[in-house]
Structure 1
Amino acid sequence: MFNQYRNAALLLGLALLPLSLLAGLMLGSVPLPADTLWAVLQGDDSAVSGLIITDLRLPRVLAAALVGAALGLAGALAQTLLRNPLADPYLLGVANGASLMAVMHLLGWPLITLLPLPLAAFIGGLLAFSMVWFCARGRGDQINPLILTLSGIAIAALLSALTTLVMLLGDQRALGPTLRWMLGSLAGVELGQLPLLLVLLIGCAAVAWQRRQQLDALLMGWNKAQTLGVNIRRERLLWCGIIVLLASASVALAGAVSFVGLVVPHLARLLLGPGHRALIPASLLIGALLLIWVDILCRTALAPEELPLGIPMAVLAVPLLLSLLRKQAQ
């Protein structure tokens, strides 16, 4: 069933991506007509509209695509590795650990500020995931998915509370911008911040595509995958590292953007099936498209005010997720 229109669906997603990028450049608190955008793309950036497009909208639209794709891929890998439909970087504590270190960096904590923001976020995400994994690991390195999920929820709640404490103890003048960043925001993103996530995303996606057969084997369970010749220890280490990298880099760039890594893989599987030959590109495309349009909504819904990404993302994602879970329960 899925094979009949899989290629057509992926081609449709590829066609929608540049159209969505153009829409992100045109739409905002100040809508710009197509002819103005065309003139700017041809090099006429002398007008105010040129500055709006090149300095403000272009970096954030590209950042939305990269962050959405990275979180979509990270969520798909987490759900495959753990065979848990509720697994994503947020439920595993990765994003909360990255957020804690990033907030400490933004508020000027002495030792943390010595590190670049992406590195600080990565260290926080890695430490948080290590705590979750340690709590869930049983005898013989066996992992109980339920215990892993509950451990992730508990540690994520602890790290969220610590993040709130750090914010309250910090400079009150920075509390507003930091809180907005905690809910997810692409305001102020610059083009120079994008290459790191772009390189990480390309590299991680290439590794996932190259090892898609091993990922398919993991869907059958670790024991069955091991009988097929899959090195479980190596695969777990590899995919855990990739999940932490993608989630931490995304948090460092856009803050805590929730639900993307949880919902996108479900949509990809619903449309194209569970095989990673389609799941990997579908998660990248759906994640990019979803966050581009959510960012457009954030800029236009209450213009000239701007919504954090987490608010419309929750409004859109929670009903969809509940309906998917309800369908599986029947």
Structure 2
Amino acid sequence: MTLTDVPRTARPATDPGLDRARGGANRMLTGGLLVAGLTVTLAVLAVVAAASGQLSIPASEVASGFLRGIGLDIGPAASHPRADATLWSVRFPRVAMAMVVGAALAVAGALMQGAFGNPLAEPSVVGVSAGAAVGAASAIVFGLTSFGAWTSVVCAFVAGIITTTAVYLFSRTGGRTEVVTLVLTGIAVNAVAGAALAFLMFLGDTQAREEIVFWQLGSLNGSRWEHVLVVAPLALLGVVLAARLARPLDLLSLGERPARHLGVNVERLRIISILLVGLLTAAAVSFCGIVAFVGLVVPHLIRMIAGPGHRLLLPASALGGAVCLLAADLLARTAVNYAELPLGMVTAAVGGPFFFWLLHRTRRTAGGWG
């Protein structure tokens, strides 16, 4: 008997519901493994980063030093008299800042890509980084001291938020925000901000120009607990609010018209997303300067591994961004003896080739998510 002799009703048939259930279970398993893997990687990287530097500290002493700092005298004693002081005043704040900034930038990138349906979108599209640079440069050149040593930080944050709002307002047409209009407006605003930054560098003296260049290159050098305590609540607020947008972002991925039929206010969703992107990015770059490509690379890699669902994508992007920036900062301060590479240069050196690959891949898939 051949297969054609078997009655049609007797042939095995696939169950669409069963296939969907299996696909959902596989995605949940992949997502769980991804989150667990990123968490373990982040913990290991944190210990390695805290142990590395001009004063080398064994990993076991890093853990015991952390426990002693929170009041638990467990583990081996420090082999160097300044080990605990170095860990708590220099290494731990820098590690924490790298995690917070990386998570904020990655979640901001995931929001941009989800809200506008474009894998090439990133926070700098809305001009927040360029605006923050102009704000910080203005404080440096004109010697503003209203907020003491934090003047440039405050000016960078406020200017970043204002620039983001301006890009959004200028890109509205007929009560709607089109993706192409937003991108073109962002390019124009970035160009104006670049011209303003060049003019400020022309006005400033040698010291001011060096400070502006250092800020533009990005660095976590000098991170302290008081800085972390400012950035972390803003980043946490942005990440929590972003997580609340997971379902409407998933519906928006079906297309604007289907999303509207399913009850999503697309324009309001995009307004909230842009504001959250401005908050997350401005908080991140205010203290560490411009760090490129984290918001582009990390969310796209997470999406390729775990799929487009934002309930997993947003928290996994936060973990992935923390891992990415912590690894980049570790490389920046250990690659060259007695010197520190600019953090923005390291992330751009990795993100640039990835961006070229992403453009090629996107072109092959006709602009889709692949």
TM score, norm. by length of structure 2: 0.82
Report if the CA contact (8 A) 2:50-2:91 is conserved. Answer: yes
Cα distance, 1:130 vs. partner? Answer: 2.8
Q: Quick one: which of 245, 264, 279 aligns to 2:298?
A: 264
The unaligned stretches of length 5 or more in structure 2 are: 1-25, 69-76, 365-370
Separation in structure 2 between the aligned mates of residue 142 and residue 7 of structure 1, nearest angstrom: 37
Q: In 2 relative to 1, CA 233–109 (structure 1 residues): closer, same or farther, beyond 3 Å?
A: farther
Counterpart of 1:17, as a letter, is L
Percentage of pairs with the same residue: 33
Tell me which amino acid in the other structure corresponds to 1:134: L
Alignment-derived partner of residue 6 in structure 1: 31
Distance 1:258 1:217 in 2: 29
Aligned to 1:170: 204
Q: Of 160, 174, 180, which residue of structure 2 is paired with 1:125?
A: 160
Q: Does 1:82 align with 2:116?
A: yes
Deviations 1:136-183 (CA, angstroms, capped at 9, x unpaired):
3222x2333223212212211221231232133224223323311211
User: Which of 330, 333, 342 is residue 296 of structure 1 equivalent to?
Assistant: 330
| Distance (whole Å) between structure 1 residues aligned to residue 59 and residue 168 of structure 2 | 50
User: 2:23 aligns to what?
Assistant: none
Structure 1 residue 80: Cα displacement: 1.1
1:28 to 53, 70, 91: 53
Task: Report the CA distance between 1:109 and its aligned residue.
Answer: 4.0
Q: Deviations over 1:228-285 (max 9, x none)?
A: 1122343233222111111111111211111111111111101111110110111101
Q: What CA distance in whole angstroms lies between the structure 1 residues aligned with 2:229 and 2:183?
A: 33
CA shift in 2, pair 1:14/1:136, >3 Å: same
Amino acid of the residue matched to residue 167 of structure 1?
Answer: M
Deviation at 1:3, TM superposition (A): 3.6
Larger RCO, structures 1/2 (Cα 8 Å, 6+ apart): 1
Asked whether the 8 Å contact 2:104–2:235 carries over to 1, the reply is yes
Q: Which runs of 5+ in 1 are unaligned?
A: none
Per-residue deviation at 1:323? Answer: 1.6
> 1:49 offset after TM fit, Å?
2.6
Tell me, what secondary structure is at the counterpart of 1:328? helix
Tell me, in whole angstroms, the C-alpha distance in 2 between the residues paired with 1:253 and 1:56.
Answer: 15
2:177 is paired with a residue of what secondary structure?
Answer: coil
**After superposition, where does 1:173-322 map in structure 2 within 5 Å?**
173-322=207-356
CA RMSD of aligned residues (A): 2.2
Q: CA deviation at 1:124?
A: 1.1
1:122–1:244 Cα contact (<8 Å) kept: no
Matched, 1:18 2:64: no
> 1:47-196 maps to which residues of 2 (within 5 A)?
47-110=81-144, 117-139=152-174, 141-196=175-230
Distance verdict in 2 for CA 1:144–1:236, change over 3 Å: closer
Number of paired residues? Answer: 329
Contact preservation (8 Å) 2:168, 2:274: no
Q: Distance in 2 between matches of 1:273 and 1:192?
A: 37
The one-letter code sitting in structure 2 at the alignment partner of 1:243 is: V
Aligned mates of 2:235, 2:282 — CA distance in 1: 12
Q: Decide whether aligned partners of structure 1 residues 116 and 227 sit closer, same or farther in structure 2, where only a CA change above 3 A counts.
A: farther
Range with greater deviation from structure 2 (168-177 or 41-50): 41-50
User: What is the rounded CA distance, in whole Å, between the counterparts of 2:226 and 2:29 in structure 1?
Assistant: 41
Shift of 1:208: 2.2
Larger Rg: 2
Deviation at 1:42, TM superposition (A): 4.2
Counterpart CA distance in 2 for 1:35 and 1:52 is 15
Mark the CA change 1:232 to 1:116 in structure 2 (over 3 Å): closer, same or farther: farther
Letter in 1 for 2:193: L
